[in-house]
Amino acid sequence: MKKALLLLLFIVAAQIVWAGDKMQIKVVETSWTIETNKYGTLIIITAKVILPDGSHADLLCRDNDNCAVIEPVEPEKMPPDSKSCPKMAVPGTTMCITKNLGTYLATRKGNYLTIYAPNGKLTFHIVGSW
């Protein structure tokens, strides 16, 4: 009985420590741009987030990184005007912006932020502030 109780306490303590590495961030905006030209296709994904200390971070990743567009946690609750795809002046370029996606769990290692989104763990480079 003592061993089972100690094992249970260890498991609970390990989960608390593991969860302590994660923080909550607010994703204010995410966008993706696809540019196609004679040299190939370039995909750029950006995001604007608010970190737990109130800092505003600009995030970036390219198609060769391990990232994707951040999907909303509850897409059915997003306002209809939260996503827009404005007409671009440059031929072969498409861009879409989604605003006010909500709160996500994330971890930070240096200038890299990994966001735990419905579509997986997405890693972005922190490139500045907004």
What pLDDT does residue 89 have? 87
Its sign, for the CA torsion 64, 74, 21, 130, is positive
Residue whose structure tokens are 């290692």: 109
What pLDDT does residue 5 have? 45
- Short-list 34, 30, 43, CA closest to 88: 34
pLDDT tops 70 at residue 62: yes
What pLDDT does residue 65 have? 67
What pLDDT does residue 88 have? 87
What pLDDT does residue 45 have? 95
pLDDT tops 90 at residue 44: yes
What pLDDT does residue 64 have? 62
pLDDT interval class at 20 (50, 70, 90): low
Whether the CB-CB separation of 130 and 59 falls below 8 Å is answered with no
Stretch 70-98: mean pLDDT, rounded?
Answer: 92
Residue 42's beta-bridge partner residues?
A: 35
Rounded-to-integer distance, Cα 12 and Cα 73, Å: 26
pLDDT tops 60 at residue 92: yes
Which stretches of the chain are assigned E, i.e. beta strand?
23-37, 40-50, 56-62, 83-84, 93-109, 112-117, 120-129
Residue whose structure tokens are 């989960």: 15
